Structure 1
């Protein structure tokens, strides 16, 4: 009798522990979630003062100043995670634009531009230069999620110049850039037609605070701010984010730690027969012939990974505690 194919989990993004818990009959508390790429040793937020909860958010609370120092530019707008900007930016582009977006990449970019009525042109990492003359907007995640592909600053600035010369945009989502800040385009803003998105969700491990920044020219930031309205960030989120962005010692130590942990994950996967095809300090990406089968076998052992079907691949985030590393090592051995 032929064994039925595993029932694949529905994954629009990473996460989804509740769905996985129901699917496999494993309590939520017993799962190891490696599907998100979030730093498992995030910034220690501490206790928010009661007064912060009681007042409306205020723009002169130190957040913008801390962000300007961290990103190297004051041309920024706080938003409720970069997702807020991803959803709004297509509405600011008049007419029907041809928008080049990598596949695979963070899928919310393509979804937002399609839903706004624009034409999305799928690209791979080697076709950008050839496609550029036919594009109005180029959207890149750098480093790319999930492949880990990196784009050179000189190439990005050259592509931006080509697009901007005819009124086009280059949008660079730097959600995973914080470990390598020297490669960021943030300090190159503001430039007409250049938009850089940053977030505190991954490196700082503050995904639940929903804090991000749009780094762009004044006119575009003003248009975004008008659509967002007042108080786009909660007071407690602003309070936590300001402290995280100003804590240089924590940032330096975390970069060293994540580089070491990223290398450890790469070595572990390779030792268990999963050769990483790319990655960052926060995740590794492996091409596999049977992604649903791999996800199912790991899920049966209480480990959730991010699955991609085109191309067939898995993304592994970092385990946190030592027993979680051992759990992953054992599960990979049993799943091979």
Structure 2
């Protein structure tokens, strides 16, 4: 069966699409084990929604309650610093539109959507590995912890960058989608009142509720107010309000889940190491690998119905999410064993230094 070139490119460039995975590996056994997204496979427990969450327009009071819960969960000074949106994917172009079209610089290699969204807002966008180069842009974007390698940029460095940008009328956007499992003392949520900083958080990764589509822009009161006004009174659906309020307030679940994810990440490291695959970065939601045999490993696992994340611009890099249950752990172990027994080169590749555009 011939696979269209655009379908292959889509699988290489984006994780989480089983339709694309089936196009690339049409004979793979199902159900698929999707390890390509970095989404928590142990989602926040589902619960029965009140009927009004579906049958009535969302109440402004519930939106205000969610903003208050989010401010407390993320360490923002007040609910007035929190703007709600239907996922950070939708928030990104609005945030980039806060600055008149100019130059956007994204600290990479990272999630490609930031540069695309900046271009949609009229900016010329580049990706760079040089943090200092971001100070010359009109909008600077840092993913912290970074996707896909888990890199952390210190709060001190980010605040210094924000000062440099603010002097020029620029904006620092920090995507903290994975900060729920990162070092919270490096978060900038408590610093947005200084101005010129927008922090993005979401319910999709740590809480495993990507389909709810709920995101937050944490910023100075004037920026948060402007974003709220642009989105209007019903920017977040009734079900998203209910899940956001309950999940963000559930501190016991959050603490237990962080411990569980750390244990699973250690287990994944050990499993990969047992088959000669060294982990060189990541968070407790995903692990990053640089391997000389990455392309064959991706194909070997894909042919066995296990989708991991590969990167067309960095052919030696892979990202592994966490298996969701014992059957998935077993299938991953068997696929790794098959790759190794078929001559898989389980050694790390030299570091890659080229820029990823």
**TM superposition score normalised by structure 1:** 0.92
3-state SS of paired residue (2:311): strand
Offset of residue 133 of structure 1: 4.4
Partners of 2:208 and 2:145 in 1: CA distance: 17
Offset of residue 209 of structure 1: 0.3
Offset of residue 297 of structure 1: 1.4
Structure 1 stretch displaced more, 247-256 or 161-170: 161-170
TM alignment of 1:224-243, pairs within 5 A: 224-243=227-246
In 1, are the aligned partners of 2:101 and 2:121 still within 8 Å (CA)? no
Alignment-derived partner of residue 302 in structure 1: 305
Offset of residue 187 of structure 1: 1.6
Partners of 1:92 and 1:28 in 2: CA distance: 47
Offset of residue 43 of structure 1: 0.3
Structure 2 residue aligned with 1:119, among 124, 127, 141? 124
| Unaligned 5+ runs, structure 1 | 1-6
Partners of 2:299 and 2:123 in 1: CA distance: 36
Alignment-derived partner of residue 172 in structure 1: 174
Partners of 2:186 and 2:302 in 1: CA distance: 36
Partners of 1:229 and 1:53 in 2: CA distance: 19
In 1, are the aligned partners of 2:106 and 2:134 still within 8 Å (CA)? no
Alignment-derived partner of residue 97 in structure 2: 91
Alignment-derived partner of residue 209 in structure 1: 212
| Unaligned 5+ runs, structure 2 | 1-6, 345-357
Structure 1 residue aligned with 2:251, among 248, 252, 264? 248
Partners of 1:282 and 1:213 in 2: CA distance: 20
3-state SS of paired residue (2:281): strand
Partners of 1:18 and 1:107 in 2: CA distance: 20
Alignment-derived partner of residue 3 in structure 1: none
Offset of residue 87 of structure 1: 2.2
Structure 1 residue aligned with 2:222, among 219, 222, 230? 219
Partners of 2:292 and 2:30 in 1: CA distance: 30
- Deviation digits for residues 192-246 of structure 1 (CA, Å, limit 9, x no counterpart): 1011000010000010000110001122223322332231110011001100001
In 2, are the aligned partners of 1:38 and 1:317 still within 8 Å (CA)? yes
In 1, are the aligned partners of 2:39 and 2:204 still within 8 Å (CA)? yes
Correspondence 1:190 to 2:193: yes
CA, structure 1 residues 35+220, in 2 after alignment: closer, same or farther (shift >3 Å)? Answer: same
In 2, are the aligned partners of 1:18 and 1:28 still within 8 Å (CA)? no
Partners of 1:179 and 1:292 in 2: CA distance: 29
Correspondence 1:107 to 2:78: no
Partners of 1:219 and 1:167 in 2: CA distance: 15
Correspondence 1:43 to 2:48: no
Offset of residue 90 of structure 1: 2.1
Correspondence 1:319 to 2:323: yes
Correspondence 1:260 to 2:263: yes
In 2, are the aligned partners of 1:190 and 1:215 still within 8 Å (CA)? no
Partners of 2:310 and 2:170 in 1: CA distance: 33
Partners of 1:113 and 1:19 in 2: CA distance: 26
Correspondence 1:81 to 2:83: no
Alignment-derived partner of residue 338 in structure 2: 334
Alignment-derived partner of residue 348 in structure 2: none
Structure 1 stretch displaced more, 244-253 or 70-79: 70-79
Partners of 1:221 and 1:39 in 2: CA distance: 28
Correspondence 1:10 to 2:10: yes
TM alignment of 1:280-291, pairs within 5 A: 280-291=283-294
Partners of 2:135 and 2:195 in 1: CA distance: 18
Considering only aligned residues, what root-mean-square deviation do their CA atoms show, in Å? 1.9
Offset of residue 111 of structure 1: 0.7
3-state SS of paired residue (2:264): helix
CA, structure 1 residues 28+174, in 2 after alignment: closer, same or farther (shift >3 Å)? Answer: farther
